[in-house]
Amino acid sequence: MMLRIKRVPTVVSNYQKDDAEDGGCGRNCLRSCCLYKAKLPLYTFKVENIDSEKAPPACEDDNPSVDFLNSVVLAEWEDRMQRGLFRYDVTACETKVIPGKHGFIAQLNEGRHLKKRPTEFRVDKVLQPFDENKFNFTKVGQEEILFQFEPSKTNVAQYFPSAPVNAESLQSVLAINVSPIEYGHVLLIPQILERLPQMIDSESFLVALYMAVEAGNPYFRVGYNSLGAFATINHLHFQAYYLELPFPIERAPSKKIATTTNGVTISDILNYPVRCLVYEGGNSLKDLSNAVSYSCICLQENNIPFNVLIADSGKRIFLIPQCYAEKQALGEVSSELLDTQVNPAVWEISGHMVLKRKEDYEGATEEKAWRLLAEVSLSEERLQEVKELIFATICNETEPKAVANPTIATSTHDNVDFLPSPRAKMVPV
């Protein structure tokens, strides 16, 4: 039996349609038909541990380094706002901190809810093949692209207002989300022309982590939703936005449970409605990135939906397995929660509740937020099984490869007994 839920897909681009259209022509898109002689802004970021002796020297007349977050991301985002590319003014949405010790944040965002027919989404398969006939980010207009985002070849972060687009080597791009949740809401689309499905790989995750580091501001977070965890577009992308408030998940206490041989500490999050893990430290940024990305790949292979929050300018990364869509498909979520039409993806799970109805916003309480998020969480027993799968993967210290037809993880220990000890190459705390 296939598990499906009905929900309204978020419109992230002005070129997104219910029915697929032939791409290309006349729409200034990101396909080969429109990329010929195209130019887009380019931001090159400094890569950790680059061999400066092998890097070509930066010329004196090269563009100087700039403030990535304020002068590039947010400035370009505001430019698109002035040009009327967004579906509504998110800065006019009401926002408040819900009274209580956890500080959940509520936003009333009626513009994000579309008056259109809900679409069925399959929620029992985290890995699904890319479908060219459905909307993907190569169909967006070039005016929605803020800039190309690539590693620097000179070991210097630089911004170029106009740079040629090479269709053969175009890497990552940053685009606006035309249905923003918050100020500065953008989409990072790694290796956009490769048409990768929504699944984590180590190279793409490192790019997302570099973006958080480059921003250098704890109020600019990067998030990821897997299929089955409220991603609705099966084309690899991360999200990010700026909100000058602490997220409740960031304030939750944690308990260290293990440290990898590369110095990455893994901890349980305590006293929070959603059980999850947080990763930090490591001998290098790549060590931290690999520990998280390998864990994500493990969850993908075992068909476990999950969300990721990159916080504290890339210093802490929350990995959140979840089961809300599964419960919803099985009819195990109360009508009271379903009526709110809240889809608990990474931002909601982190404590930023995006509400579509004024009555829910006005009546928001800490108890209601906690009750919704508690439905997202795996049981303590199931999370323990997930941790054992993750630890065994990390111990192998090589990147796992996604399989075409991953098996569904069960809620028993049958699939765990044959795994190597999760502590084999880890230092207990």
Strands 145-151 and 39-45: parallel
Please provide the distance, in angstroms rounded to a whole number, between the alpha carbons at the two ends of the chain. 42
For residues 212 and 45, is the Cβ–Cβ distance under 8 A?
Answer: no
Distance between CA atoms of residues 62 and 159, nearest Å = 9
Phi and psi at 414, nearest 5°, equal: -60, -35
Catalytic residue flag (residue 185): no
Identify which of 199, 179, 202, 175 has the alpha carbon closest to the alpha carbon of residue 189: 175
Distance between CA atoms of residues 78 and 66, nearest Å = 17
Identify which of 223, 221, 274, 228 has the alpha carbon closest to the alpha carbon of residue 245: 221
Helix (H, G, I), strand (E, B) or coil at 227: coil
Point out the catalytic residue in the list 185, 235, 237, 352.
Answer: 237
152 HSE (CA, 13 A, CB side): 28
Largest CA distance in the chain: 64
- As a whole number of Å, the CA-based R_g of the chain is 21
Residues in the chain: 429
Distance between CA atoms of residues 196 and 137, nearest Å = 10
Distance between CA atoms of residues 300 and 294, nearest Å = 10
Phi and psi at 188, nearest 5°, equal: -100, 120
The residues annotated with a catalytic role in the active site are: 237
